[in-house]
Structure 1
Amino acid sequence: MNLALWIAAGLLAAVALTGGVSKTFVAKEKLATIPGGQWTGDFGAGFVKTLGILELLAAIGLILPALAGVAPVLVPVTAACWVLLMIGAMITHLRHDGAAKFVALNLTYLALAAFLAWGRFGPASFA
């Protein structure tokens, strides 16, 4: 169970890092041309960059507290916040035509985050 939770955390951290870097450092106009990035046209550049920063923080919060042994409860808290972020992402992607595959991808990430939150709050907690 512990190994599966670490794998889930690693995968989610990689996703969060990738999304965070692109939203934080790539221009909103360029993101809008990438498949799945059309939603950025509905929001301001500041909002998109803020989401990117939150995703970078999520990448850190999914791994670092457990590795450092400092406030490891932040791992399941971050995973629970990721669930909420993915709900928002699914709603946003549903508003755009042809985005069903991105909704399915977000649902996969949501399931991984829910598994991680459940596992680290419950049977395989760090406490």
Structure 2
Amino acid sequence: MELAHWIVAGLLALFSLYSGTLKAVRSPDRLRPMMAWVDRVPLPALRALGALELLGAAGLLLPPLTGTATWLAPAAATGLLLLQAGAIPVHLTGGDRRIGLNLALLAAAAAVLLLPAG
């Protein structure tokens, strides 16, 4: 089960790293083809979401790998779970009904919390 935890946590961290980096550095014009909702949030909020995803990715992996402040990993997973729980209504209220990825990421964050890390 520990292997399953690391696979799910690693994939969630990779996706969060990718998505967070895009939100943190790309302009809304370049994000719009991938994320139709970017016009409905202020740029500082978009950058903050990107920063939260980057911190979540780091928090999932670095504390358990270093053995320091290991309580941060479940906190990061909880944060990413809450982030996706908040993203679903944003997609649904904006006419963008594509929430499959959000549901998968929410499930992955929940799995990281439930699967034993070792």
Q: List alignment gaps of at least 5 residues for structure 2.
A: none
Q: 1:108 aligns with which of 104, 114, 118?
A: 104
Matches within 5 A, 1:1-127: 1-32=1-32, 34-35=33-34, 37-97=35-95, 99-101=96-98, 103-119=99-115, 124-126=116-118
Instruction: Name the count of aligned residue pairs.
Output: 118
Q: CA RMSD in A?
A: 1.3
User: C-alpha separation between the residues in 1 aligned to 2:23 and 2:36?
Assistant: 13
Q: Report which structure shows greater RCO (CA 8 Å, sep ≥6).
A: 2
Q: CA deviation at 1:49?
A: 0.5
Would the aligned equivalents of 1:76 and 1:118 in 2 still touch at CA under 8 Å? no
Q: List alignment gaps of at least 5 residues for structure 1.
A: none
Q: CA deviation at 1:87?
A: 0.7
Q: What letter is aligned with 1:27?
A: S
Report the identity percentage.
Answer: 38
Q: What letter is aligned with 2:87?
A: A
Would the aligned equivalents of 1:79 and 1:117 in 2 still touch at CA under 8 Å? yes
For residue 45 of structure 2, give the secondary structure of its aligned residue in structure 1. helix
Q: Which contiguous aligned blocks of 4+ residues in structure 1 show a shift greater than 3 angstroms?
A: none
User: C-alpha separation between the residues in 1 aligned to 2:104 and 2:36?
Assistant: 20
